[in-house]
Amino acid sequence: MLKAQIHLTLPVWIHDAVDTTRRYASDEDKVALAIELSAHNIDAGSGGPFGAAVFDGDDRIVSVGVNRVLPLTCTLAHAENMAYMLAQQRLQRARLNMDEAGNRLGHFTLATSSQPCCQCYGATIWAGIDRLLIGARSEDVMALTEFDEGPLPADWVGELNRRGIEVVRDLARAAACTVLRQYGASGGQRY
């Protein structure tokens, strides 16, 4: 029989790890949350060393995500994609920042513990975010772990900028690299 449904979930600890009433005013606060989620995910053994969060224009959490690839047997279950999908379901629209008629509906930011891989880069283009905040770089991910981040356009930041997505890199990069280093040194599976 063909499967006709998928079920993707975040680990149960997520509810205790995230303060949905808090305002994350600075870019650093937003990325710090993503990094905390990535560390908690590996400590709990619930996925790989990646975390992400979508914030609205009032600096409030819309959704969060952690890497769940191996636990869910789904290569699409990267932290960024999980956060995007949960935000889209919560807001009931495919593009977070606009409706089906193209009307602007707010300002959205994705904060991620590490630079999006090629898959998450593509999702970022279509998710309807306005800002992308990044901790570790892809070269950090590949140097400190066994992950292959895949190919990106040579000017991937410029391409996102041309599409109206501001990119801010290297926020808490050392802290993000600490989590990646810990994961890599432990011989963690490539989620």
Residue 37 lies in a domain: yes
Residue 131 lies in a domain: yes
What is the residue range of 86's domain? 26-184
- Per-residue pLDDT band for 188 (boundaries 50, 70, 90) equals confident
Half-sphere exposure of 17 (CA within 13 A, CB side): 24
Domain count, the chain: 1
For 72, list phi and psi in degrees, rounded to 5.
-105, 0
| Strand 109-114, strand 51-55: pairing | antiparallel
Residue 12 lies in a domain: no
Section 180-185 average pLDDT = 95
* % of the chain residues with pLDDT over 70: 98
What pLDDT is attached to residue 187?
Answer: 82
* Dist CA 61 CA 65 (whole Å): 11
Residue 16 lies in a domain: no
Q: Can you say whether the dihedral through the CA atoms of 50, 16, 31, 173 is positive or negative? A: negative
pTM: 0.96
- Within 8 A by CB and 6+ apart from 115, the residues are 134, 136, 137, 138, 141, 149, 169
Residue 44 lies in a domain: yes
- Within 8 A by CB and 6+ apart from 2, the residues are none
Residue 6 lies in a domain: no
* % of the chain residues with pLDDT over 90: 95
Residue 158 lies in a domain: yes
Q: Residue 92 belongs to a domain with what CATH number?
A: 3.40.140.10
- Kindly state the helix (H) or strand (E) to which residue 78 belongs, with its residue range: none
Section 113-134 average pLDDT = 98
Residue 13 lies in a domain: no
Q: Give 27-77 pLDDT, tens digit per residue.
A: 999 999 999 999 999 999 999 999 999 999 999 999 999 999 999 999 999
Section 68-90 average pLDDT = 97
